[in-house]
A and B are shown apart, each in its own frame.
Chain A
Amino acid sequence: MSARILIGKVGLDGHDRGVKVVARILRDAGFEVIYTGLFQTPATIAAAALDEDVDMVGLSMLSGAHMTLAPLVVKELRERGSAAPVVVGGIIPDRHVAALQEAGVAAVLTPGATAEQLVAEVQRVLDAHQSSLH
């Protein structure tokens, strides 16, 4: 069975070009993709991730709120007992990547990542998560 991925926009940013392109790329690569739509909170993302029983959560963040909101999504997921890895993509300066990873984000995709890199990174995160469960 193909992996299920929840793709979401958390916060107030309405720019959804990137998130839709990423969702289509992952869908075309054979993943099952669920898109939350706009204006989600960390709590609604976590609730949806549990409802949909997904293997991974992807967040598109372009407005600069990633340092505040991405760690909160991880926290909400863990508090609800979900171990699903969180991948963040968007306008993320290099110097924020380490801090996001420390806060529990599994991977960060920065601007200009190609479709190939995206799919490979998602697969890598899913595989690492699988092996951590065994």
Chain B
Amino acid sequence: MRASVVTPAGPASDACGKLSAVTTPRERWQQAFDASPLREATYATMSGVPLAPVYGPADGSGEYPGQYPYTRGPYASMYRSKLWTMRMFAGFGTADDTNWRFKEIIKSGGDGLSTAFDMPTLLGLDSDDPMSLGEVGRCGVAVDTLADMEDLYAGIDLGAITTSMTINSPAAPIFAMFIAQAEKAGVHRSRLGGTLQNDILKEYQAQKEFVFPPRQSMRLVRDTMAFTAAEMPRWHSISISGYHIREAGSTAAEELAFTLANGFAYVELAMQAGLPIDSFAPRLSFFFNAHIDFFEEIAKYRAARRIWARWLRERYGAQLERSLQLRFHTQTAGVSLTAQQPEVNIVRTAIEALAGVLGGTQSLHTNSMDEALALPTEKAARIALRTQQVIAYETNVAHVADPLGGSWFVEELTDEMERQAEELFAHLDELGDGSMLEGCIKGIEDNWFQGRIADSAYELERALNNGGRIVVGVNRFTEGNDDEQMDLLEITNDDEARQLKRLDEVRHRRSQAAVDAAMERLAADAADPEVNLMPALIDASAAYVTLGEMMSTMAGVFGRHVEVPTI
């Protein structure tokens, strides 16, 4: 297929302007690198051997970071300009509790926040809903109204730090609450930087926190994409997530393929809504798992960048370099952690985190050793952050971009990941009759994704049980398994009681007339598929309409999704 011309943005355009004078990829890379801001550090080995920012063939040929198709990294200078963001996911109990943990993270050197919500919030239920019993504040923070959002980010300058929110089915109303809260605190929406997970397709495929049927959910995704494209230049509207697909049991190639296919579906969704591709594609970001098979993970990240760049340019006609450069967050594999001898999880997490860094991740969350048993204690979470700091500041691995590029093994594994992914894309493309958007939705409706993931999960389990796969402390090397369990974080029922009291107070304090008017408008806007729902949701948030009320109002129009249970 013939490629269209790419117009690079930013520093690289200087390099391109002088293309005629430049002959090799190496020289083009050098020009882009020279135009990049650099971080102060000693770029040499421990013994004083100077290190180049990247290595390649002696004749200057080959592919370099920051060059299409970006296999070796989205930027010419990679970590020499900026280390990855050490973004630690946190959230538990009430908003006050999590606000305290956020401030601890900032104090100990974390530079981005990532918010975990509790199960009721993830499903758009209020804390006083009968279904919420026992789940309030357990797996994350409970957010019912704007009042909780205000407490959650109190004393944190949202114009200065980036915030990521792991929320999907109720992403639009939670995002609306976040915007209403920031603007009340004096930070205009245009200054807000961060990421909304907002990846609903993988919910039906893997994580299963869905509320509305797929097509209605996709309308909300479209609305958030259009809203951020128009009003929030620093915001990433979707974090297209393979993490949960992998955690649910997929292989690395399935994680890669399903995630990118979902990405293509969102691209088609926005294009169908009339958004020019280069108006929203630069704000799409990705989220991958870092599992324990070290080289396969690195190959997966490299293949992801290459596939995304090719598809965006060749199939969807993107022109801006930023649209083609896949940027991603990484989290180490929760599912690789063991309850047995949990201290060993520190080692697993370190190896997985290293794969993310050698694969060129833009941000990273490292799991805590005790997370196979409970939410992490403060000490366990600190060790997890320290693990990243050891990689960043002691090992020198960040000095050289794509250090494994050119390895026969890693290059071939990268090609193999790409080949397997293309096979899966071909299936979805056929299923959708030439539309990846339709293919992904049909694949969900037909249980194709869910079935493949469950099959792969069962295969892995069988390998563990027949000894084909060894997990230290589980099926080998079990001495020490009977030691007394370490101290774990205890979430008491007091948190649930406190949250119910807070919610009750808000319900009594707010103006019922304002709530009624806001809900009426929301219902009317929801009924008209041409209307963007974000303004109505922001107004409803400001009137202290609860999350549950907003979601029920929309469910009245959209209906609710029910999955047919299959083993």
Contacts and interface: CB of A to CB of B under 8 A. Distances in A.
Interface of A: 11-17, 20-21, 23-25, 27, 33, 35-39, 41, 63-65, 67-69, 91, 93-95, 110-112, 114-116
B567 A93 contact: no
B373 A93 contact: yes
A114 B457 contact: no
Contacts of A63: 119, 135, 138-139
Interface in B471-495: 473-475, 485, 488, 491, 493
Contacts of A111: 338-339, 372-373
B507 interface: no
B374 A64 contact: yes
Interface size class of B (residues with CB under 8 A): 35 or more
B375 A64 contact: yes
Given A21-B461, A25-B461, A37-B565, A65 B138 contact: yes
Q: Which residue among B134, B207, B210 has the maximum number of chain A CB atoms within 10 Å of its CB?
A: B134
Contact of B485 (A15, A20, A38, A95): A95
B38 interface: no
A112 B248 CA distance: 16
Contact of B125 (A12, A17, A36): A12
Contacts of A13: 119, 135, 139
Interface string B371-403: 011110000000000000000000000000000
A116 B119 CA distance: 32
Nearest to A38: B208
B565 A36 contact: yes
Given A12-B135, A24-B458, A110-B339, A37 B374 contact: no
B208 A15 contact: yes
B564 A37 contact: yes
B485 A12 contact: no
A93 B488 contact: yes
B181 to A, nearest CB: 24
Contacts of B338: 111-112
A131 to B, nearest CB: 29
17 contacts: A12-B123, A14-B209, A17-B457, A20-B457, A20-B458, A25-B461, A35-B567, A41-B130, A41-B131, A63-B135, A63-B138, A64-B139, A64-B491, A65-B133, A91-B339, A91-B374, A115-B461
B563 A68 contact: no
Contacts of A38: 208, 563, 565
B340 interface: yes
Contacts of A64: 135, 138-139, 374-375, 491
B465 interface: yes
Nearest to B210: A14
For the complex of A and B, the 5 pairs showing the least CB-CB separation, nearest first, are A68-B134, A37-B565, A14-B208, A65-B134, A111-B339
A14 B135 contact: no
Given A17-B335, A115-B465, 12 more contacts: A12-B122, A14-B203, A14-B210, A17-B453, A24-B458, A25-B461, A63-B119, A63-B138, A64-B375, A112-B338, A112-B473, A114-B464
Q: Give the residue among A20, A36, A94 with the most B Cβ atoms within 10 A.
A: A20
Contact of B135 (A16, A27, A65): A65
Contacts of A25: 461
Contact of B207 (A12, A15, A36, A39): A15
B121 to A, nearest CB: 10
Contacts of B473: 112
B423 to A, nearest CB: 24
Nearest to B340: A112
A46 to B, nearest CB: 15
Contacts of B340: 112
From B122, B209, B374, B461, residue with most partner A Cβ within 10 Å: B461
A61 to B, nearest CB: 10
A96 B447 CA distance: 36
B123 to A, nearest CB: 5
B465 A116 contact: yes
B66 interface: no
Nearest to A21: B461
- Among A17, A36, A112: residue with most chain B CB under 10 A: A17
B552 to A, nearest CB: 16
Nearest to A114: B465
Residue of B139, B203, B464, B488 contacting most chain A CB atoms (<10 Å): B139
Interface in B342-382: 372-375
Contacts of A14: 203, 207-210
Nearest to A110: B339
Contacts of B131: 11-12, 39, 41
A37 B339 contact: no
B132 interface: yes
A93 B454 contact: no
A16 B208 contact: yes
Given A20-B458, A24-B458, A68-B134, A93 B209 contact: no
A99 B218 CA distance: 44
B24 to A, nearest CB: 48
Nearest to B139: A63
A16 to B, nearest CB: 6
Contacts of A37: 563-565
B249 interface: yes
Interface in B405-433: none
